[in-house]
């Protein structure tokens, strides 16, 4: 079967991520589907955005779960990518589902904030049903309690359990840290790229006075990443969260112990290179696989993953993935179903 190409946050390599423009462009580039991230605003609107904080994508400080929808709609979520995208607004889930009608699949990541969004699962399922997309939707999350609730509410709804290493929450190139106000020579760059990155980040947040005033965006970013970890492991402290990641070393076996069904396992794609048996082990357990977000680094990564025979690949560069599949010539159009 030809693997499906799922555009990660839309055609996010070429357009501002998680915008209607990025999702529509993904279709033009040949993607079979797209992935998006859903949060709830303070006044309980479902909106599509990855980060909780608005700073990096709008230049305006804010935290989406603590903001009202009308205020968010005033912000520009496109100009950060390029001036040609100026004026792009944060989309609602309903608007995104309308675009998804033209695709074969949509991945919807559930992003509850801390312990405040108990209704997020039911709200998203209701929206999917209202749009008539229950056959195309895969609900994904790093917060496995949310996936349990999906199966309790609607057993036939497809789900995907996601994972990545906790250090990769902060692992960024030096140029990224420079954008947040750090210089290449700043000792913090090395600390935030080390295996102790999470502990370093937590220490900084406990005593932000150790940073200069111009590093305020860095503080917001670190808080955003740590809030994400606390949101997907509610009630746990940092040591307990790290212990959970240790248990996830064999992620297929970890998910198999959930006590409720899961359709896909979605490790960050480098895991498939470290463990060449990951795909056959997942299939043996009855799981499909969804590596992500492939294509950030090289065409070579995509080629290697396609040869592992996954059901789908989530990529920032759908146009490159389509080109590679065409070049490999292993699948014709009649085998696209799957």
Rounded to whole angstroms, the Cα distance separating 269 from 34 reads 17
Q: Please, is 162 exposed, middle or buried when counting C-beta atoms within 10 Å of its C-beta (0-12, 13-18, 19+)? A: buried
The reply to whether 8 belongs to the active site is yes
Rounded to whole angstroms, the Cα distance separating 250 from 41 reads 35
Candidate list 13, 45, 50, 107, residue with the active-site label = 50
Structure tokens at 189: 């760059």
Residue 39: closest CA among 105, 88, 108: 108
Rounded to whole angstroms, the Cα distance separating 156 from 162 reads 19
Alpha carbon of 293 to those of 163, 228, 336: distances in Å? 12, 18, 21
Which position has the token pair 């470290």? 274
- Within 10 A of 30 (CB to CB), how many other CB atoms are there? 15
Candidate list 8, 13, 45, 107, residue with the active-site label = 8
The reply to whether 50 belongs to the active site is yes
Report CA torsion sign: 280, 251, 141, 272. negative
Structure tokens at 65: 């779960």
Cβ proximity of 332 and 312 under 8 Å: no
Contacts of 195 (CB under 8 A, 6+ apart): 167
The catalytic site residues sit at 8, 50
């Amino acid at each position: 079967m030809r693997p499906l190409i799922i555009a990660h946050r839309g055609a996010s390599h070429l357009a501002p991520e998680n915008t209607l423009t990025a999702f529509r462009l993904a279709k033009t580039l040949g993607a079979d589907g797209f992935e998006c991230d859903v949060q709830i605003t303070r006044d309980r609107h479902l909106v599509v955005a990855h980060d909780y904080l608005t700073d990096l994508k709008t230049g305006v400080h804010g935290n989406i779960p603590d903001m009202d929808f009308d205020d968010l709609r005033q912000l520009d979520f496109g100009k950060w990518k390029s001036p040609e995208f100026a004026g792009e607004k944060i989309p609602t889930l309903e608007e995104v589902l309308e675009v998804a009608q033209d695709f074969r699949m949509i991945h919807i990541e559930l992003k509850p904030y801390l312990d405040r969004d108990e209704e997020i699962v039911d709200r998203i399922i209701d929206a999917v049903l209202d749009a008539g997309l229950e056959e195309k939707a895969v609900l994904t999350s790093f917060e496995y309690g949310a996936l349990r609730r999906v199966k309790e509410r609607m057993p036939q709804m497809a789900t995907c359990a996601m994972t990545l290493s906790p250090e990769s929450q902060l692992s960024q190139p030096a140029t990224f840290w420079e954008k947040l106000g750090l210089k290449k020579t700043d000792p913090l760059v090395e600390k935030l790229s080390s295996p102790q990155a999470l502990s370093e980040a937590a220490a900084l947040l406990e005593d932000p006075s150790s940073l200069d005033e111009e590093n305020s965006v860095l503080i917001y970013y670190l808080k955003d990443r740590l809030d994400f970890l606390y949101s997907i492991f509610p009630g746990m402290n940092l040591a307990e969260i790290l212990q959970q990641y240790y248990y996830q070393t064999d992620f297929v076996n970890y998910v198999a112990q959930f006590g409720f069904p899961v359709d896909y396992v979605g490790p960050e794609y480098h895991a498939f290179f470290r463990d060449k048996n990951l795909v056959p082990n997942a299939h043996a357990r009855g799981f499909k696989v969804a590596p992500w977000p492939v294509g950030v680094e090289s065409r070579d990564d995509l080629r290697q993953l396609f040869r592992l025979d996954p059901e789908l690949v989530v990529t920032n560069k759908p146009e490159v993935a389509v080109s590679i599949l065409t070049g490999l010539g292993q699948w014709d159009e009649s085998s696209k179903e799957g």
